[in-house]
Structure 1
Amino acid sequence: MVDIRVVLLTGETTVSADWAGDGGTVVAIAHGAGTGKDHPFLTGFADALNDLGFTTLRFNFPYVEQGRRMPGPAAHAIATWDAVVAAVREQRPDAEIWAAGKSYGGRMASMAVAQGLAVDRLVYLGYPLHAPGKPEKPRAEHLPAITVPQLFVEGTNDPFIQPRSQFDEVVATCQDARVAWIEGGGHTFEVKRRKRPADQIGASLAPIVADGFR
């Protein structure tokens, strides 16, 4: 485990992160709003990517380090993404960098990239287009500004992207985006009548992400 220095408007802090693997592409992985970097879904996903030849860097946002469950300001998450990518470039200056995140973590990555963060690919593991039942408040106004390729990995039963027609319209506004559908999957990619541990669910998405930009 390593500490990454993050400069916030409120001062300087650090977040913890875990490197693994020795591949030429580094996938930086952010957690969802109610979890942290060591959630089994993320460790399973990262381990499977390592087995496929990727380097991974899982990290926490500041509010998790502070022992809080609810995310802080979006600016704090964006600053964290900036610091994480800078740390990757310092350690692996020649590596290709993919920014990946579960739900909230992926949305924060997209906002950071829309504001100028340079990465090679964006991967969303369940993009939270809106709160369940509130499609009138989509979180998508920044997506058309993103020029790097984006991969949306989505469950067909995810309430955060219903109605599907709205999600399809949002994806159509993106400059370079594709969608990998998980049939029957919910927001955490659980499938009814198919019970699996979270680490296995996360691991099952790694091959989809590895091949998703081809």
Structure 2
Amino acid sequence: MTEQDPQEPPVAEQELQIEVAGSPVSAVATRPDAALATVIVAHGAGAGMGHPFMSGVTRALTRLGFATLRFNFAYVEAGRRMPGRPAAAIAAWRAAVEAARGLAAEAGAPDERFWAAGKSYGGRMASMAVAEGMAVDGLVYLGYPLHAPGKAGQLRDAHLYGVTTPMLFLQGTNDPFATPNSELDEVVARIGPTATLEWIEGGGHSFEVKGVKRTPAEIGAGLAPLVADFIRPRLG
């Protein structure tokens, strides 16, 4: 568990286990009073839910009025370094959404809205789960891995065109997973009005900006207002 920033008001966190295909994975939930919605956040390929970027995002969202759930994919829980087949991550996503629905119901909010968000790989897996029928109210990509670094043109976009929920792409202009930037611009334009792209000037794949000293937790927290501003007007 990551430490909380002493300069910010503390956020109460609930540790829990989510069953995925008969095996538990770790998760952490937060819930403010009168939550606006739940944002479920998955980690990137190289780090689990305990990474400071992840806690920074979710704690900042909680301070902005959103319940959150962050969770590990099974490969991280098992101590492996590399993701397995997408089917395993999609199963984890489905289980996480159901867990979030259960937590909302326990809190007396059965009609709460649920958004799926993810850092890089986690966001891509969320979009694939939605393309296969997972029901959420919207998607947020914290650095969409449009292609492998150095392999522009080999795009991971085909499934996105069948997704009809609102989508927010937050992307650094120096992210090697989305350069040249024009490729992601074109993908978002082809998706249509349900997709919004916001470029973070100078941001790398983890939204670090050269010459600007910030911790990963601060970087994650800095994205939360953009996410909140996108979701609020779409809650209905």
Q: What TM-score comes out, normalization by structure 2 length?
A: 0.87
- Do residues 77 (structure 1) and 89 (structure 2) align? yes
Equivalent residue runs for 1:190-205 within 5 Å: 190-205=208-223
- Do residues 167 (structure 1) and 189 (structure 2) align? no
Identity of paired residues, percent? 59
Segments of 5+ residues of structure 1 without an aligned counterpart are none
Rounded to whole Å, the distance in 1 between the matches of 2:102 and 2:142 is 26
- Do residues 16 (structure 1) and 26 (structure 2) align? yes
Match for 1:46: what amino acid?
T
* 8 A Cα contact 2:137 2:166, kept in partner: yes
Equivalent residue runs for 1:81-160 within 5 Å: 81-92=93-104, 93-160=110-177
* 8 A Cα contact 2:25 2:73, kept in partner: yes
- Do residues 59 (structure 1) and 59 (structure 2) align? no
Listed one character per residue, the Cα deviations across residues 127-176 of structure 1 (whole Å, up to 9, x for unaligned) are 00000110131110000100100000011111111111211111112141
Rounded to whole Å, the distance in 1 between the matches of 2:27 and 2:190 is 33
2:11 — aligned with what?
Answer: none
User: How well do the aligned residues superpose, as a CA RMSD in angstroms?
Assistant: 1.0
2:229 — aligned with what?
Answer: 211
Rounded to whole Å, the distance in 2 between the matches of 1:48 and 1:102 is 15
* 8 A Cα contact 1:143 1:173, kept in partner: no
1:2 — aligned with what?
Answer: 16
Match for 1:208: what amino acid?
L
Rounded to whole Å, the distance in 2 between the matches of 1:140 and 1:13 is 30
Listed one character per residue, the Cα deviations across residues 2-43 of structure 1 (whole Å, up to 9, x for unaligned) are 111112xxxx21111001123130000100000000100010
- Classify the secondary structure of the residue corresponding to 1:212: helix
Segments of 5+ residues of structure 2 without an aligned counterpart are 1-14, 105-109
Name which of 206, 227, 231 aligns with 1:188. Answer: 206
Match for 1:2: what amino acid?
L
Rounded to whole Å, the distance in 2 between the matches of 1:3 and 1:95 is 21
Q: More displaced, 160-169 or 102-111?
A: 160-169
Q: Report the CA distance between 1:95 and its aligned residue.
A: 1.1
Q: What TM-score comes out, normalization by structure 1 length?
A: 0.95
Rounded to whole Å, the distance in 2 between the matches of 1:21 and 1:91 is 9
2:12 — aligned with what?
Answer: none
Rounded to whole Å, the distance in 1 between the matches of 2:188 and 2:198 is 12
Rounded to whole Å, the distance in 2 between the matches of 1:78 and 1:172 is 26
Q: More displaced, 186-195 or 15-24?
A: 15-24
Rounded to whole Å, the distance in 1 between the matches of 2:80 and 2:68 is 25
- Classify the secondary structure of the residue corresponding to 1:186: coil
Rounded to whole Å, the distance in 1 between the matches of 2:209 and 2:180 is 19
Q: More displaced, 167-176 or 49-58?
A: 167-176
Rounded to whole Å, the distance in 2 between the matches of 1:179 and 1:69 is 30
* 8 A Cα contact 1:25 1:96, kept in partner: yes
Match for 2:152: what amino acid?
P
